[in-house]
Structure 1
Amino acid sequence: MSVLKYSVLAFLIALPTSSWAKPHLREVSEIDDSLYWIALASEISKKCDSLGARRLKGLNELWRLKGLANDMGYSDTEIRAYVESDVEKARMRKKGESYLVALGANYDKPETFCAVGRAEIKKNSAIGVYLKAN
């Protein structure tokens, strides 16, 4: 076989592999956004004594997201690395704090988290579904 044929064959074999490259999990909006909403609900429930987290609902969603990521070809190791990454935690925290402040939460006034949480519960929002009144 000529060098040209080997080159073409190598190119054709490599081509599908490059198109199958998975995006970073932060770029998979269904996964990243869902983790974000759960994290915001958790933050609200920690700051507001009169609201609690719907832990079972959140845990079920986390298992669903893990299954989805596995179905998309992500290994448990890749998923764990994303979830436990200090960089990703810091990114999520910065984004979440800005969002909560925009909703009216003030880290110096815990009662503002209660107001935000109650409003989210009332709207049955992506955050509110993970919260409950104590």
Structure 2
Amino acid sequence: MRKLQHAAAILACATLPALAAAKPPLRDVPQVDNGLFAVAVANEIRKTCPDISARMFTAWRFAQSLEAKAKAMGYTDAEIEAHLDSDAEKARMKARGAAYFKANGVSRGDPQGMCALGRAEIQKSSQIGALLKAK
């Protein structure tokens, strides 16, 4: 029995590095996924609303911080790039954005609604609002 326990302990220790190396998909990392969502929504707002523009340097710094978080969690440049280039992830983010706009009473392509939503996000100092500025 003692030998069996010893063998189980050795096997468990041998598999720990493999378990530690397993990373969830970036879509399942809230810090990264929610950050990318904020960027996507802010981008949609600024493209639709003529009275709101992007804080480009702030957006660039924020994107850099998301990349740094992912790298600190062990994701490679190739994994990050694959996530950003994934058609499935783009479609998922677009659907998530559509749900967000609908929940806020705004439809895509509605400048008045997007402007109101953008101003509200700026007013409440949300992550989306931090990426935007009123002209």
What residue number does 2:111 align with? 110
TM-score by length of 2: 0.87
Gaps of 5+ in 2: 1-5
Distance 1:132 1:117 in 2: 9
RMSD: 1.9
Q: Secondary structure at the match of 1:132?
A: strand
What residue number does 1:56 align with? 57
Deviations 1:61-95 (A, max 9, x none): 11111111111111000000011111001000000
In the alignment, residue 109 of structure 1 is paired with which amino acid? D
Q: Secondary structure at the match of 1:127?
A: helix
Distance 2:94 2:109 in 1: 17
What residue number does 1:44 align with? 45
Percent of pairs identical after alignment? 41
Gaps of 5+ in 1: none
TM-score by length of 1: 0.87
- Tell me if 1:26 matches 2:57: no
Deviations 1:5-56 (A, max 9, x none): 9998566423431243111111110011011011100100001011001111
Distance 1:108 1:52 in 2: 16
Distance 2:62 2:127 in 1: 12
Q: Aligned residue pairs: how many?
A: 130
In the alignment, residue 128 of structure 1 is paired with which amino acid? G
Displacement of 1:111 in angstroms is: 1.2
Is 2:54–2:133's contact at 8 Å kept on the other side of the alignment?
yes
Distance 1:123 1:8 in 2: 53
Distance 1:132 1:108 in 2: 19
In the alignment, residue 35 of structure 1 is paired with which amino acid? L
Distance 1:108 1:53 in 2: 17
